[in-house]
Amino acid sequence: MRQVKTGFSLIEIMLVVIIIGVLVAMVVPNIAGRSEQARTTAARTDIEANLATALDLYYMDNAGYPSTDQGLAALITPPGGAAQWRGPYLKKRRIPQDPWGRAYVYRAPGEHNKNSYDLSSLGTDGETSADDITNWDEGRE
């Protein structure tokens, strides 16, 4: 009776490893910077759409934006003096944090948007710098 040998030869295994290595070398550089880009996009979406919509609804009900002292918490629980509060204005009934796990910075009236509010995330480094995501244009006053 003849014995049949099954399995892979060393050359076949090395060829598969080389092919996998080439594929990884092609894919990894394309994926590498995407997580930070996704976080920036998520922060921009919160600032320009999600929180902006909630703040505008609050404004329509209360004839003004929450003060800096009331902060974004006024979107969840009625602050003192908000007689027409019809919230909560955020669906999840909690104040979202930015994608880096920090609170969004809210100021009303705004330093940059004097007739409304300033809303920003401190970005990757957690400090005021060029990577901040804001609801104002730096060239505009």
pLDDT tens per residue, range 15-52: 888 888 888 887 777 776 678 888 999 999 999 999 99
d(CA 22, CA 26): 6
Predicted local confidence at residue 24, as pLDDT: 83
d(CA 24, CA 26): 5
Residue 10 scores a pLDDT above 50: yes
DSSP at 97: B
**The model scores a pTM over 0.85:** no
pLDDT tens per residue, range 115-141: 999 999 999 888 888 889 999 986 443
Helical (H) or strand (E) element with 118: strand 118-121
Q: DSSP for 18-31, please give it.
A: HHHHHHHHHHHHHH
Predicted local confidence at residue 139, as pLDDT: 46
| Domain 32-134 superfamily per CATH | Glycoprotein, Type 4 Pilin (3.30.700.10)
